[in-house]
C-alpha cells in the first residue's frame, strides 16, 4: 500500500494506472475509519485499484462546528487499510484548498434538510469532491447512503458536469442496536450511545406505521417528532420526501424516504429510512 500526499504525485499515479488500462475506485473519507468506511473500501476493491482519500475538509465546517475536535486517527486508519489490502491512501495537505476562489454549489438541493442548518456545508463538500475527482480521475466513486443528501448532490454534480465517473451508493452500516455508524459516535459515552440507538428505532417505527397503512405525511412526522422528543433528542428536522429530494410529500408513497437530523448530548446525528 502506497501513501501519497502531493497533488502532482496523485495525478501522475492515476495517469500511469490509466495508461496500464487499470480501473480506479475512489473512496473519499475524513478519516477515523469505522466499519462503514471499510465496507466502502471492500466494495471499491471489487471494481479496481482503490484510492482512499483521508482529509478533514475545513471548507465543509461552519465556524461553530467541530472541525478542530473532529476525531482523527491516522495511524489506526493506515493499519486498517493495510489489513484490507487497499492500494493507495491519498492524504493531501491544505494546498488542496489553498487559494480556492471557485466553489461548486447547488442551491436548489442544498437549501433544505441539512443545508438549512449547516450554511455552506454542501458547497464545501461538492468543492472538495470535485477536486478529488479531477486529481484521481476515478472510474468509480463510493459513497454511503447515511449521508443521503450528500449522495444526491454529488450524483447531480456528476450529471451536470458530464464527468466520466460512476457513483456507487453503498447501504448504511449500523451497530447491532441500529445506530448508523459514524466517526462522531466516538463522542458518546456508553450510556449516551445506548440512548442514541433509539434514533433509528423511531425512524423504523415510523416506517412501520406507513407499512400498516398510514400515508399522511404530517401524521407520520408528528408521530416521529413526538417519539424523538420523548427520547430526549433535539429535533433539527424530519421530512418525508421523494427519493430525488425534489419535493416534500403530502401523502407518503412506497420508495419515498424519511430523513432526519437530531442533536443529543452535544452530538449531531443524521439518518434516513426508505418506505416499503
- Average pLDDT of the segment spanning 43-72: 95
Rounded CA-CA distance 239/272 in Å is: 10
Q: Hey, which residues are catalytic here?
A: 37
Domain membership flag for residue 176: no
In this structure, are 96 and 202 located in the same domain? no
User: Is residue 127 over pLDDT 90?
Assistant: yes
- Average pLDDT of the segment spanning 103-126: 96
Query: Does 150 count as an annotated binding residue?
Result: yes
Query: Does 105 count as an annotated binding residue?
Result: no
pLDDT value at residue 64: 85
Rounded CA-CA distance 128/164 in Å is: 17
Percent of the chain exceeding pLDDT 70 equals 100
Query: Does 144 count as an annotated binding residue?
Result: yes
In this structure, are 133 and 253 located in the same domain? no
Q: Is the dihedral of CA 81, 29, 32, 234 positive or negative?
A: negative
CATH code at position 113: 3.40.50.620
Domain membership flag for residue 177: no
Rounded CA-CA distance 207/260 in Å is: 13
In this structure, are 122 and 190 located in the same domain? no
Mean pLDDT score across all residues of the chain: 97
| Cα–Cα nearest to 157, from 96, 106, 222, 233 | 106
Query: Does 222 count as an annotated binding residue?
Result: no
Query: Does 35 count as an annotated binding residue?
Result: yes
- Average pLDDT of the segment spanning 220-233: 98
Tell me the per-residue pLDDT of 237-272, one tens digit each, with 9 for 90 and over: 999 999 999 999 999 999 999 999 999 999 999 999
In this structure, are 158 and 206 located in the same domain? no
Query: Does 121 count as an annotated binding residue?
Result: no
- Average pLDDT of the segment spanning 133-162: 98
For the stretch 96-99, contacts whose Cβ atoms lie closer than 8 Å and that sit 24 or more positions apart, written own/partner, are 96/7, 96/55, 96/128, 96/131, 96/135, 97/57, 97/58, 97/59, 97/127, 97/128, 97/131
Amino acid at each position: 500500500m502506497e501513501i501519497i500526499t502531493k497533488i502532482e504525485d496523485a495525478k501522475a499515479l492515476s495517469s500511469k494506472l490509466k495508461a496500464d488500462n487499470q480501473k480506479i475506485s475512489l473512496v473519499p473519507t475524513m478519516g477515523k475509519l469505522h466499519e462503514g468506511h471499510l465496507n466502502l473500501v471492500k466494495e471499491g476493491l471489487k471494481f479496481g485499484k482503490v484510492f482512499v482519500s483521508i482529509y478533514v475538509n475545513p471548507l465543509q465546517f461552519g465556524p461553530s462546528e467541530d472541525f478542530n475536535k473532529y476525531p482523527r486517527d491516522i495511524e489506526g486508519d493506515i493499519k486498517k487499510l493495510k489489513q484490507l489490502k487497499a492500494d493507495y491512501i491519498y492524504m493531501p495537505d491544505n494546498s488542496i484548498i489553498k487559494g480556492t476562489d471557485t466553489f461548486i454549489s447547488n442551491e436548489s438541493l442544498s437549501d433544505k434538510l441539512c443545508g438549512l442548518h449547516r450554511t455552506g456545508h454542501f458547497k464545501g463538500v461538492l468543492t472538495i469532491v470535485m477536486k478529488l475527482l479531477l486529481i484521481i480521475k476515478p472510474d468509480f466513486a463510493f459513497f454511503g447512503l447515511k449521508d443521503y443528501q450528500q449522495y444526491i448532490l454529488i450524483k447531480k454534480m456528476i450529471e451536470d458536469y458530464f464527468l466520466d465517473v460512476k457513483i456507487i451508493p453503498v447501504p448504511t452500516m449500523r451497530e447491532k442496536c441500529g445506530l448508523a455508524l459514524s466517526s462522531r459516535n466516538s463522542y458518546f459515552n456508553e450510556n449516551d450511545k445506548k440512548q442514541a440507538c433509539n434514533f433509528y428505532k423511531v425512524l423504523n417505527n415510523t416506517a412501520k406505521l406507513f407499512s400498516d397503512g398510514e400515508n399522511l405525511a404530517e401524521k407520520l412526522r408528528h408521530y416521529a417528532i413526538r417519539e424523538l422528543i420523548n427520547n430526549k433528542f433535539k429535533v433539527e428536522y424530519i421530512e418525508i420526501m421523494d427519493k430525488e429530494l425534489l419535493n416534500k410529500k403530502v401523502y407518503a408513497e412506497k420508495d419515498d424516504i424519511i430523513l432526519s437530523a437530531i442533536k443529543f448530548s452535544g452530538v449531531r446525528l443524521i439518518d434516513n429510512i426508505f418506505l416499503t
